[in-house]
Amino acid sequence: MLKISSNEKTASQLETFVLCILFIALAEVILPPFSQLRPKAIAGLDKTLGSAVAQIGIYLFFILVLRNRFRDFFKNLTLLIRDPCLLFILVLTLLSALWSRSPSFTFKGSLVIVGTSLYAVHIAKHYSIARMTAILRFLCAVILIVGAIFCIVLPSFSVNEKGWQGIMSFPIRTGTFAALGIVLWLAHLISTRNQKSLSLGIIAIFLIVLVRSNSAQALLTLIALLGIFITQYLFKKLQAKQATVASVIFLAIGLCLFFVIESHTRGIFEALGKDTTLSGRTDFWPTVIATLNHHNPLLGFGVYGFWQPWQGDDNPARYIINANGFVPPNAHSGFLDLALEIGWLGLFLFACSFLKLTINAVRFAIESKTQTAFVPIILVAYIFISNFSETQLFSDVYIWFLYVFLATSPELN
């Protein structure tokens, strides 16, 4: 253990291994031991004391083994000063137990979110965007290819009535993850002269997974991310005047597409097998908003303080139900769920932080000469799209981890 801790190269490799294991857990992979290692499991109501001690013990073991890699942990947290809005979000998260109806449950949940976020800040200091991109690309391949194998070999475990979910928690999340993986591997295919057959094969598998996930959101995510990637790739090849002309053309095309989609919304949704209420989501969103505004619009219900079915008649979300009688487990909107937990104040702070990150990502895409210059803006778009009609934000999920990583990355600030 002492040898590992003192050998910088070995410690760095082990840290990357631990990061990959954590990321798989944050991707909500349902295979053990990853599902048990997910930080949120500690705050679960069914978590026994022995299981919690064992899980925390595993975390402490790796911290001890990698103690030299953590020697600058608290110093690295000063990166949060570069995004004061994100810092205030984390402070609100910790304080939310004070106004939650379930203070102990909220406090445990807030520790999970803050702990995951602080580790993401630490990783932002140690890992470049290029290195994180390589790790993310590799993990996309591992999670999706293993998931595809499970869908073929053990469909009773990895295929539900909607479509392929693989080893992730739901087909929509598998499909959108595949969309991200396709763009990352496409960029790798274009930028490297080696292993082109491997990249093409992986992209083909990802396309199959995306189609079989039967997710309209995944398809739209792929179209949006490909559009951003192709636009930036072409702009990098153009001179200043050509880029200006191209910008005007793309803007005109974008406006035309907007008006076409706006005037044919119902037909487009029907073609994708969806209705204009986003499968009933917009039916209960007004009730969710009204409940928040009636309770505590500024500060919300506290972390994990709203969706509590085990509370019965005391469940704050007991009146949230759509027209088909479906009782949702969350708001199916990451932004709305964030507001439920830390109020409109928290959502406003996130909007400011997100705007700052978007500006930094666009500037990085324009100014950087590296092959990964496109990655931040792709991830920003992915984070936004993934949380429009699904909740994958403000929790111990990989999307929130990536958001904090980008928001505090020294390369973007």
More confident residue, 86 or 248: 86
State the pLDDT at residue 51.
84
- The three-state DSSP-derived secondary structure of the chain is CHHHHHCHHHHHHHHHHHHHHHHHHHCCCCCCCHHHHCHHHHHCCCCCHHHHHHHHHHHHHHHHHCCCCCCCHHHHHHHHHHCHHHHHHHHHHHHHHHCCCCHHHHHHHHHHHHHHHHHHHHHHHHCCHHHHHHHHHHHHHHHHHHHHHHHHHCHHHHECCCCECCCCCCHHHHHHHHHHHHHHHHHHHHHCCCCHHHHHHHHHHHHHHHHHCCCHHHHHHHHHHHHHHHHHHHHHHCCHHHHHHHHHHHHHHHHHHHHHHHHCHHHHHHHCCCCCCCCCHHHHHHHHHHHHHHHCCCCCCCCCCCCCHHHHHHCCCCCCCCCCCCCCCCCCCHHHHHHHHHHHHHHHHHHHHHHHHHHHHHHHHHHCCCCCCCHHHHHHHHHHHHCCCCCCCCCCCHHHHHHHHHHHCCCCC
State the pLDDT at residue 347.
96
CB atoms within 10 A of CB 195: 12
Burial class (CB in 10 A: 0-12, 13-18, 19+), 305: buried
State the pLDDT at residue 242.
66
Q: What are phi and psi of 315, to 5 degrees?
A: -70, 120
Q: Is the pLDDT confidence value at 1 over 70?
A: no
Task: Say if CB 341 and CB 394 are below 8 A apart.
Answer: yes
164 forms bridges with which residues in the sheet?
159
Q: Helices 240-263 and 216-237: crossing angle, nearest 10°?
A: 160
Residues 6 or more apart whose CB falls under 8 angstroms from that of 50 comprise none
Q: What percent of the chain has pLDDT over 90?
A: 48
SS3 content of the chain, % helix, strand, coil (to 5): 70, 0, 30
Break the chain into its structural domains and give their ranges.
1-71, 81-126+279-413, 130-237, 238-273
Q: Tell me what the mean pLDDT of segment 27-56 comes to.
A: 86
Strands annotated E in 129-266:
none
- Tokens (6 digits) for 352: 């400011």
Residues 6 or more apart whose CB falls under 8 angstroms from that of 143 comprise 24, 27, 29, 166, 167, 168, 177
Q: Coil, strand, or helix at residue 164? A: strand
Cα distances (angstroms) measured from residue 20 to each of 13, 134, 261: 11, 11, 39
pLDDT band at 2, cuts 50/70/90?
very low
Q: Please state the separation of Cα 367 from the chain's center in Å.
A: 26
Q: Is the pLDDT confidence value at 126 over 60?
A: yes
Task: Say if CB 394 and CB 113 are below 8 A apart.
Answer: yes
- Tokens (6 digits) for 305: 């303080």
224-241 pLDDT per residue, tens: 888 888 888 777 776 656
- Tokens (6 digits) for 12: 């760095």
d(CA 37, CA 275): 37
d(CA 207, CA 385): 19
State the pLDDT at residue 6.
54
d(CA 160, CA 150): 12
Average pLDDT, the chain: 86
Q: Is the pLDDT confidence value at 267 over 70?
A: no
State the pLDDT at residue 273.
58
d(CA 215, CA 295): 35
Cα distances (angstroms) measured from residue 88 to each of 82, 196, 298: 12, 45, 14
68-119 pLDDT per residue, tens: 888 899 999 999 999 999 999 999 999 999 999 999 999 999 999 999 999 9
Q: What are phi and psi of 164, to 5 degrees?
A: -70, 130
pTM, rounded to two decimals = 0.90
Q: What are phi and psi of 159, to 5 degrees?
A: -130, 125
